[in-house]
Amino acid sequence: MRAGFRLLISALALGAAIFIVYRQLAPNPAVAALYAVTLPDQNGQPQALAQWRDKIVLVNFWATWCPPCREEMPELSEFQEKYRARNVIVLGIATDDVAKISEYSKTRPVQYPLLAGDFQAMTLAETLGNNKGALPYSVLIDPKKGITHIYFGRINIKQLEQDVREIAE
């Protein structure tokens, strides 16, 4: 009886350990969905989002017609330049088509990739936690832990910098 009990306890402990390791190594389904997508950039060139999988990624959902989205873009450009050396990338995914973001980027260039998500952008944002349909909407992704922070509305750069420093250090 004791041997059977010990065997049962050992099997449960092993199962728990395997589950814990699996959960830490398995990709977050929402992040996996993001990295499975390919979107055109402002020049119409397809960009696989998986190319940024090993970086700290701030995914910023925006639209050319959205005033708070446009207001935060210069700050996000400065943030991108400041944290580029720390393996950080900002990805701007627009709810617009290529023509609209191409036109917009000519008048207000940014220092990070702009991608045309069109209708797919809001579905992707919802997959990443945007249950309010808000714009701008941003998600901070740690390459090891998945989504670490969600930001509804115009982003607070000081808060973003603090959040990134926690991940990068």
> Do 58 and 140 form a contact (C-beta atoms < 8 A)?
yes
Share of the chain above pLDDT 70, in %: 84
pLDDT per position as a tens digit, 38-71: 999 999 999 999 999 999 999 999 999 999 999 9
Domain covering 28-168 in this structure, CATH number: 3.40.30.10
Compute the average pLDDT of residues 118-135.
93
Mean pLDDT computed over 1-28: 51
Per-residue pLDDT, 169: 76
Find the catalytic residue in 69, 128, 160, 167.
Answer: 69
Residue 75 has which token pair? Answer: 């700050």
101 carries an active-site annotation: no
Amino acid residing at 27: P
pTM of the predicted model, to two decimals?
A: 0.83
Active site residue 116: no
Q: Which two tokens stand for residue 28?
A: 């977050």
Question: What values do phi and psi take at 50, rounded to 5?
Answer: -60, -20
In this model, does residue 159 exceed pLDDT 70? Answer: yes
Q: Which of 31, 56, 57, 66 is catalytic?
A: 66
